[in-house]
């Protein structure tokens, strides 16, 4: 046993290192007898969702446009909650509003939902057509392995070749070193902290490749048919060879220069942290070997 949160035991997988709530509790989540999306949940979550959607999530969207190896014409926010990210993108990039979609299986009450034309209540598999990119932010930690396996299959089915998705969720290293309260079975419904190894197994079974976003212990890229980047240097090099159609699409919007700068600098900042740490460890190893 790793820890106890709200009387629920959490364990660490000896194989992949993921952290998970006790199996009986996860089974109740799958069966629907434990529901984490009731009114009390949304009372707490709406403020956080708005802050992300009008803040950091915009940077994540811009990063996907840089990292994607194909032109992005359709973009989906998976588990969009109230859909505030759609609203923020429509306000800041009205020229591209029609390309952004959001899907939410367990939405808040109607009065709190986005009125965006592409806000959909349902599952990713319910949407028509294929997508070139997207985000899935603070979602998968709510899902049991069986539920995430189902989402991975839907993502593979709805992804065009080369599609690129940013998946944000606290990994075990993040939980242990930065935020142990991230494990939260009832109030926020965080029942699993998935390791990169676990995500590679779950998404890899559907033909999707997983690249850690080096320098972050809370995000990965999931792509269809694009080999995973082996290190931070490889990942950063993709920023300088971005699909020019994506950069032009971003740059020609109302706040285009802001999105171009924000996406590039945000991605470089985290990658360079990892590069610096790797080089420091290498230098220290040289000193110890003398």
Residue 146 three-state SS: helix
What does DSSP assign to residue 227? P
Instruction: Give the C-alpha distances (Å, rounded to integers) separating 152 from 16, 41, 200.
Output: 18, 25, 11
- Residue in the block written with tokens 């994540």: 60
**Structural domains for the chain:** 35-289 (3.40.50.150)
Beta strand spans in the chain (E): 3-5, 8-12, 19-21, 75-78, 100-104, 119-121, 131-137, 159-168, 192-193, 208-212, 219-224
What span, in angstroms and rounded, lies between the C-alpha atoms of 73 and 234?
25
pTM of the model: 0.94
Q: Do the Cβ atoms of 62 and 262 come closer than 8 Å?
A: yes
Question: Among positive and negative, which fits the CA dihedral 230, 231, 235, 237?
Answer: negative
pLDDT of amino acid 204? 97
pLDDT of amino acid 282? 75
Q: Do the Cβ atoms of 88 and 58 come closer than 8 Å?
A: yes
Per-residue confidence of the chain (290 residues) as pLDDT tens digits? 789 988 999 999 999 999 999 999 999 999 988 776 666 778 778 999 999 999 999 999 999 999 999 999 999 999 999 999 999 999 999 999 999 999 999 999 999 999 999 999 999 999 999 999 999 999 999 999 999 999 999 999 999 999 999 999 999 999 999 999 999 999 899 999 999 999 999 999 999 999 999 999 999 999 999 999 999 999 999 999 999 999 999 999 999 999 999 999 999 999 998 888 887 777 777 766 66
pLDDT of amino acid 207? 96
């Amino acid at each position: 046993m790793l820890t106890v949160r709200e009387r629920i035991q959490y364990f660490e997988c000896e194989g992949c290192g993921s952290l998970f709530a006790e199996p009986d509790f996860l089974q109740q989540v799958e069966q629907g007898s434990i529901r984490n999306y009731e009114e009390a949940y949304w009372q707490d979550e709406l403020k956080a969702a708005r802050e992300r959607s009008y803040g950091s999530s915009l940077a994540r969207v811009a990063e996907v446009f840089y990292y994607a190896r194909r032109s992005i014409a359709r973009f989906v926010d998976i588990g969009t909650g109230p859909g505030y990210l759609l609203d923020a993108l429509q306000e800041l990039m009205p020229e591209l509003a029609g390309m952004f979609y959001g899907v939410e299986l367990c939405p808040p009450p109607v009065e709190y939902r986005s009125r965006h034309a592409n806000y959909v209540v349902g599952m990713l598999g319910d949407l028509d057509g294929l997508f070139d990119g997207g985000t899935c932010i603070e979602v998968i930690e709510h899902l049991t392995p069986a539920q995430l396996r189902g989402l991975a299959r839907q993502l593979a089915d709805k992804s065009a070749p080369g599609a690129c998705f940013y998946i944000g969720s606290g990994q075990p290293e993040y939980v242990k070193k930065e935020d142990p309260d991230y494990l939260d079975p009832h109030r926020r419904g965080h029942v699993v902290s998935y390791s990169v190894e676990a995500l590679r197994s779950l998404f890899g079974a559907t033909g999707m490749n997983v690249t850690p976003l080096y320098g972050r212990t809370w995000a990965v890229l999931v792509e269809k048919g694009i080999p995973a980047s082996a290190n931070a240097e490889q990942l950063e090099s993709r920023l300088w060879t971005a699909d020019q159609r994506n950069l032009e699409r971003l740059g020609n919007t109302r706040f285009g220069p802001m999105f171009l700068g924000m996406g590039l600098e945000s991605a470089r900042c985290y990658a360079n942290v990892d590069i610096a740490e790797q080089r420091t460890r290498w230098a220290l190893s040289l000193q110890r070997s003398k």
